[in-house]
Chains A and B, each alone.
Chain A
Amino acid sequence: MFVNPYKDCFEKKPLKCTFHTHAGTGPGTCGAYGIDDVLALYKELGFDSLCISNHNLYTDPAEYEKKHGILLFPGYEYTKWEHMVCLGTDKVLVPHPETMAPLEDPVTPYQAAIDGCNADGGFPILCHPNWPVEWALSKGFLSSVHRMRAIEAHNGSCGSNAWDHVLSGGRLIWGVGSDDFHRWWNLARSWNVVYADRDKPSIMAALKAGAFYASTGLALQGLTLDSDKISVEVINPNDYRDEFNFKFFGADGRLLKEVNEETATYRLKGGEKYVRVEVMNNAGRKLYTQPVYDDEYLSIEE
């Protein structure tokens, strides 16, 4: 049976969230600016929630949360060869450089970090699958790691190829939008709109349920599954009318249908496994929906 993760979502107020932010100027932060400076700008831009995810470094968000009135998740970016945002954990599980020979078994410590994050009730997000080169998170690596909950569908560029690879193997993970903020020119370029109450447990539950979408500037108005018909409605949040390019993708990243209209529908033919939608306007602003999926084929890996 096909499941729509957005069922019942649209009654909730959408929250603007980003989980991949490097800030602070101390050792290991990889940040270029003070945490207060960075948070003040995200706050001004209407972000409700954020995670300071420095490389292999936990940053205690308590004092900043209070000061800026923005919900701050604990977390860090696991950074060895492959990267991962471990959202919702304060335990950094990264092998010490001296205990590992270069290029020796990248999977085991990565898996330990995923499992540690999950054990803390967190949400592990595989990062930038196409950085620093295309398929940097190779198909072999993606098949070897388990129980991750999400992947960056957008981090400066599109990562849907790796996302489709995991989904096509029957494992349900969600697509996330990230700034991967290091410098000002990364600020507020892509984010997540999460349907949740404005508190951290509610946001975390919504992330795990796929009740969010990734955006670089478009807003989802509706995504419904009525019998075999998926309908998607998108608006430009600045109120003017646009014609959007809708692309419906299925297993193996196959383009199922393309529509250039204000709204779009797709009729399930059966056998799709999943259908997810990418939408773009003529300024290149995008939106990535989560997949509507066949629960006989796809499930969250336990």
Chain B
Amino acid sequence: MFVNTLQNKLRGPCQRSNFHIHAGTGPGTCGAYAIDDVISNYKAVGYTCLCLSNHNLLTDPATFDNRGLNMIPGYEYTSDKHLVCLGAKTMAFDPADTSDEALQKAAETCVSEGGFAILCHPHWPEEWHTGREFLDRTFGFEGIEVFNAATDRDVGAKGRTACMNAQDYLLSRGRLVWGVGSDDFHRWWHLAAGWNMIYADNTPEAIIKALKAGEFYVSSGLRLMDLSIIEDRLHVEVCNPSGYVDEYRYRFVGRHGRLLKTVESASADYMLCGDEGYVRVEVYCPGGNVLLTQPVYDTEFFKENNK
């Protein structure tokens, strides 16, 4: 049976969120600007929920003015690979330990404290840096960045912003991991370029609960109007928040990243055959704004394959 995490969920409150922000100018922050400047700008552009995720540095939201935004504590575990530990309460690891086990332990600690661990930018600083073998042997994270807007923006950057193929790799092996959008904010040109729309009340607990349930989507400028399964028909409709009518390119993607169907229209349908394992949708507007849904997934496929 296919499960759609957003079935009948789109009418509730929705929070625009980014959990990967470096801010503050003290040691370890890797930030270039004061926390208050960064939060003020995110607020001005319409965000409601953020996490300051400095490198191996837990920033307590009680220590700065949240400007009315929901600030979830967290940090970015930073070794050879990176991991945003959203909702983490402690950092119990040796930063010099670059082993995969150390990252997994950080993820497990975060989750045991009620948090949500997000594997970062699998294609930075080079393609498949966080490679398939690493993904095969490392567990504990529940999210992976499918869109990291900063990794291709700096001069000389060698990263890839779109990382949906890494999520496909995990999903195809029966590991239900949710796709996350991030700015990976360091500098102003990273601001508000990739985010999450989360269907939840705006408290840390409700946001993390919704993330764990996959009740969100990733966007760089499009809004989800409908994602529903009626009998075997998967229906998707997006809109341009600027209000004008666009023709969108919908790509339905299945196991191993296989392209199942492309539709160029205002909305799109896909008839589920039953053997897909999962189907996720990428949507592109003519201006290049993107929307990435979570997979609708076959519970049997994930039960059989996730040994």
Contacts and interface: CB of A to CB of B under 8 A. Distances in A.
B220 A284 contact: yes
Contacts of A156: 287
Nearest to B128: A240
Contacts of A283: 147, 152, 160-162, 290
Interface in B66-99: none
Interface string B218-240: 00100000000000000000001
A99 interface: no
A282 B220 CA distance: 12
B153 interface: yes
User: Interface extent on B, as a size class?
Assistant: 35 or more
Interface string B282-307: 10111111100000000000000000
A157 B45 contact: no
Contacts of B41: 183-185
Given A134-B244, A157-B242, A41 B188 contact: yes
Contact of A185 (B127, B191, B285): B191
A250 interface: no
Interface string A210-228: 0000001100000000000
Nearest to B147: A283
B156 to A, nearest CB: 9
A184 B185 CA distance: 12
A183 B41 CA distance: 9
A281 B162 contact: yes
Given A160-B286, A236-B152, A187 B242 contact: no
A158 interface: yes
A44 B154 CA distance: 9
Given A46-B155, A156-B287, A240 B127 contact: yes
A282 B146 CA distance: 11
Nearest to B153: A188
B188 A187 contact: yes
A227 to B, nearest CB: 30
Contact of B44 (A41, A183, A239, A245): A183
Contacts of A160: 286
A285 B194 CA distance: 13
B282 A133 contact: no
A216 to B, nearest CB: 6
Contacts of B193: 185, 189
Most B Cβ at <10 Å: residue of A45, A158, A184, A187: A184
B243 interface: yes
Given A185-B41, A185-B191, A284 B284 contact: yes
B37 to A, nearest CB: 9
Nearest to A241: B127
Contact of B160 (A45, A238, A278): A238
Given A133-B244, A157-B242, A282 B164 contact: yes
A185 B191 CA distance: 5
B189 interface: yes
Summarize A's interface: helix, strand, loop or mixed: loop
Contacts, number: 88
Contact of B152 (A45, A285, A286): A285
A157 B220 CA distance: 12
Contacts of A185: 41, 45, 188, 191-193
Contact of B157 (A131, A238, A286): A238
Contact of B240 (A157, A184, A239): A157
Contact of B288 (A133, A216, A239): A216
B152 A238 contact: yes
Contacts of A188: 153, 189
Interface string A123-139: 00000001101100000
Given A44-B155, A184-B188, A133 B240 contact: no
Interface string B175-208: 0000000000001110111000000000000000
A134 B245 contact: yes
B123 interface: yes
A240 B123 contact: yes
Contacts of A245: 249, 284
A55 interface: no
Interface in A172-211: 183-185, 187-189
Interface string A30-67: 00000000000100111000000000000000000000
Interface in A250-270: none
A86 interface: no
Nearest to B165: A282
B286 A158 contact: yes
B132 interface: no
Interface of B: 41, 44-45, 123, 126-127, 147, 152-153, 155, 157-162, 164, 187-189, 191-193, 220, 240, 242-245, 249, 282, 284-290
30 contacts: A41-B187, A41-B188, A45-B155, A131-B242, A157-B240, A157-B285, A158-B285, A160-B286, A183-B41, A183-B44, A183-B45, A184-B188, A184-B189, A185-B191, A185-B192, A216-B288, A236-B152, A238-B152, A239-B158, A240-B123, A278-B286, A280-B284, A282-B162, A282-B164, A283-B160, A283-B161, A283-B290, A284-B220, A285-B288, A286-B288
Given A45-B189, A282-B162, 4 more contacts: A41-B188, A158-B285, A236-B152, A285-B161
Interface of A: 41, 44-46, 130-131, 133-134, 154, 156-158, 160, 183-185, 187-189, 216-217, 236, 238-240, 245, 278, 280-286
Ranked nearest first, the 3 interchain pairs of A and B with the lowest CB-CB distance are A134-B244, A284-B288, A184-B188
